[in-house]
Amino acid sequence: MNDVIKLLLSHRSIRKFSDQAIDQETVNTIVAAGQAAATSSNLQGTTVIQVNNPDSRAELAQLAGGQKYVSTSSTFLVFCADVKRSAQACALQGGEFTPGMTEHFIIATVDVALFAQNCVIAAESLGLGICYIGGLRNNPADVSKVLDLPENVYPVFGLCLGYPEQDPEVKPRLPLDAVLMQDTYDESVLEAGIAQYDEHMRSYYRQRTGGKKDSNWSVEMKALVGKESRPHMRSFLHDQGFTMK
């Protein structure tokens, strides 16, 4: 196993950061590393908003459900899926942008995630810690107002960056054979994989909390997919131009 793979396997979210700033040149390098990721049909559907204004940071922390590290991390980036830039390029060529295609939504959303993960690897290789903030989708319309996002752009997630002031454990994952399948989807492996992982996670939570947290993965999944989740997303996306044709 080489050092890059060791780095990838050592990822954990960091939510407590030192006061040390990240200089702008380093931020630029991190974002340039993100740009180097693959992009479908060269769309380059990612725009990164670096939020420096303390009032905006405080507001976003609030909108993300009171995640204070959104305002206390050294750097906070919002990763936006952007087909506006391509639409403008299309218009330059006398073309007429075809809005609202589900496929464009997928391309841009995937582009953003590939780009962001490259940024994360670059940052972690420099000794920085990171935390993705999906909570921006709690109030995506208000987030879009704070960032002045135009139509055909939406905030997919945020990213906190800073020098770590904590050293949490790596979180266990599902067993490999419940995730990597051969030739066809094999439903028969799911039951054993979930059972094994539930046991693993139960002891992980117990150890981490001195026995206080008694949960496991399937309990977490019941809370996540056993009810409506951010039911505003559909209409928010529609209003933002992503009508899902």
Site for its own copies in 84-103 (CB under 8 A): 84-90, 92-98, 101-103
Closer Cβ to its own copies, 18 or 145, answer by number: 145
Q: How far is the CB of 129 from its own copies (least distance, A)?
A: 12
Cross-strand bridge partners of residue 6 = none
Q: Does 205 bind its own copies (CB under 8 A)?
A: no
Helix (H, G, I), strand (E, B) or coil at 191: helix
Closest among 217, 236, 37, 46 to 141, alpha carbons compared: 236
- Whether the CB-CB separation of 240 and 149 falls below 8 Å is answered with yes
User: Interacting stretch for its own copies, rule CB under 8 A, among 63-71, 160-168, 203-211, 225-233?
Assistant: 225-233
Helix axes 24-35, 102-125, angle to 10 degrees: 130
Stretch 15-44 residues interacting with its own copies (CB under 8 A): 27-29, 31-33, 35-38, 40-44
Stretch 46-65 residues interacting with its own copies (CB under 8 A): 46-53, 56
Q: Does 188 bind its own copies (CB under 8 A)?
A: no
- Whether the CB-CB separation of 215 and 205 falls below 8 Å is answered with yes
Q: Does 121 bind its own copies (CB under 8 A)?
A: yes
Token code pair at residue 64 = 């993300």
Closer Cβ to its own copies, 40 or 62, answer by number: 40
Q: Which of 19, 183, 188, 211 binds its own copies (CB under 8 A)?
A: 183
The type of residue at 172 is P
Q: Does 104 bind its own copies (CB under 8 A)?
A: yes
Number of residues interacting with its own copies: please give it, by CB under 8 A.
118
Stretch 132-151 residues interacting with its own copies (CB under 8 A): 132, 134, 137, 147-150
Q: CA triplet 66, 71, 73: central angle to 5 degrees?
A: 120
Which residue do the tokens 């752009």 mark?
153
Q: How far is the CB of 35 from its own copies (least distance, A)?
A: 4
Helix (H, G, I), strand (E, B) or coil at 87: helix
Closer Cβ to its own copies, 92 or 211, answer by number: 92
Helix (H, G, I), strand (E, B) or coil at 241: coil
